[in-house]
Structure 1
Amino acid sequence: MAEVKLTAEKRTDFGKGAARRIRRQDKVPCVIYGHGADPRHVSVDGHALLMALRTPNVLINLDIDGKSELVIPKAVQREAIRGFLVHVDLLIVKKGEKVTVEIPIHTEGELAPGGNLLEYILSALPVEAEATHIPEGVTISIEGLEAGHTVHAKDIPLPRGTTLAVDGEDAVLQIVAAQTEPVEEEAAEEEAAPAEAAPAAAPEGEGGG
């Protein structure tokens, strides 16, 4: 996986007011934690961090006062409407150690004919991998799968050095039969049946007077 280099500045002001001031400077407030160290509060250039986070579980080489710290994003908070970064938690990692993360699930191929639907049970796959070799995702072939088929976690090929962090029997994807619209039988019968004859008019002079 690619390693991205970013620069962070220490911050000593906290609270909502301080966070808003940081964001007005096009920076993002972040907290660095892990390995038993006290949490450190920093700010990072907003655009650079946003670009880095386009890669899931990106490995960031963070320069803090001339000292490097390897971190991965652990929690990302975004503004609900416009989607800009509000706050990011960064987890310290060391080369060679294992971390538990969620990686994206991709599919390839076409389902069997019939208009069936692909349903995601898990939107991402929890795995354990070396901190500096986290896979960017996994790819599942759905070629020719028919309704009723379920892909379990154990069925997914994983990169070397990566293991599941969920039960292998957990469902990840399933193929659902397409629902057909019910035939309007009553309407069809009405269209097919001859129109009911209208009552004949009584001849003049007959009928109650």
Structure 2
Amino acid sequence: MKSITITGSKRESVGKKATKALRNAGEVPCVLYGGDEPVHFNAPEIAFKDLVYTPDAHTATLELDGNTYMAILQDIQFHPVTDRILHIDFYQIFEGKEVTMTIPVHYEGNSRGVRNGGVLRKTYRTLRVKALPKNLPDYVVADITKLKIGDKLYITGIEQGEWKYLHPDNTVVCQVRTSRNVVEDMDDEDEDEETEGTEATEQAADAAE
């Protein structure tokens, strides 16, 4: 998993007045949990761009006054009107110790069921996984190519790796549902056979004329 480096400064004052002053200066107040004690710090809002505004999951390398911490983003608060980042909570992680993280699902492939008029219902857009930090994926792939109308893709059928999904094996990640515009769902081989049969009929009709 890719790690985004955030360079910031530890802060002693955590009151409302000091926090407001930080935000007015374009800084984001943050807290790092998971160590011996919480670490309060701040960093420029622009420093979080590649960590927050991305479709993939990343870890964070926090460089604070000469100290380096590995962490994951645990919680984030946005302004309800401007969408500016108000506060971020991080959780410290350690090499050799498993961590739980929410990972996005990337749906790939051209479903046969969708081509025949079905509708893809995505039950999960993110999944909880547990792994060593070095084995955490940026995202997991769900290949929907073989799904026909009525088929379901279970969590056991998506990308597997050196991580554990924290969901039961019967978890349905997505499914192809029927719709008003549905046509008879045929395999690619059936479609080829039908095409060949139509061509043969047309040739016989031409010969009869």
Counterpart residue type for residue 127 of structure 2 = L
Matched with 2:164 is 163
Matched with 1:105 is 105
1:49 lines up with 2:48 in the alignment: yes
Take 2:81 and 2:149, find their aligned partners in 1: how far apart are those partners? 37
Q: CA deviation at 1:15?
A: 4.2
Alpha carbons of structure 1 residues 119 and 80: separation in structure 2 relative to 1, 3 Å: farther
Take 2:45 and 2:178, find their aligned partners in 1: how far apart are those partners? 45
Alpha carbons of structure 1 residues 21 and 123: separation in structure 2 relative to 1, 3 Å: same
Question: What is the DSSP-based 3-state SS (H/G/I as helix, E as strand, rest coil) of the residue aligned with 1:136?
Answer: coil
Counterpart residue type for residue 139 of structure 1 = V
Alpha carbons of structure 1 residues 172 and 7: separation in structure 2 relative to 1, 3 Å: same
The answer to whether the 8 Å contact 2:6/2:43 transfers is yes
The answer to whether the 8 Å contact 2:2/2:138 transfers is no
Take 1:139 and 1:29, find their aligned partners in 2: how far apart are those partners? 34
Take 1:76 and 1:66, find their aligned partners in 2: how far apart are those partners? 25
Q: What are the within-5 Å matches in structure 2 for residues 1-209 of structure 1?
A: 1-35=1-35, 37-55=36-54, 56-112=56-112, 113-159=115-161, 161-179=162-180
Take 1:144 and 1:132, find their aligned partners in 2: how far apart are those partners? 31
Take 1:129 and 1:22, find their aligned partners in 2: how far apart are those partners? 35
Alpha carbons of structure 1 residues 16 and 122: separation in structure 2 relative to 1, 3 Å: farther
Higher helix share: 2
Q: CA deviation at 1:80?
A: 3.2
Take 2:20 and 2:150, find their aligned partners in 1: how far apart are those partners? 50
Take 1:133 and 1:162, find their aligned partners in 2: how far apart are those partners? 7
Number of matched pairs: 179
Counterpart residue type for residue 74 of structure 1 = Q
Q: Percent identity?
A: 26
Between Structure 1 and Structure 2, whose CA radius of gyration is higher? 1
Take 1:39 and 1:101, find their aligned partners in 2: how far apart are those partners? 20
Q: CA deviation at 1:86?
A: 1.4
Take 2:134 and 2:145, find their aligned partners in 1: how far apart are those partners? 32
Take 1:136 and 1:26, find their aligned partners in 2: how far apart are those partners? 28
Q: CA deviation at 1:154?
A: 1.4
Take 1:16 and 1:117, find their aligned partners in 2: how far apart are those partners? 49
Task: List runs of 5+ in structure 2 lacking aligned partners.
Answer: 182-209
Question: What is the DSSP-based 3-state SS (H/G/I as helix, E as strand, rest coil) of the residue aligned with 2:19?
Answer: helix
Take 1:80 and 1:150, find their aligned partners in 2: how far apart are those partners? 37
Counterpart residue type for residue 158 of structure 1 = Q
Query: How large is the RMSD of aligned CA atoms in angstroms?
Result: 2.0
Q: CA deviation at 1:149?
A: 1.1
Moved more, 94-103 or 18-27: 18-27
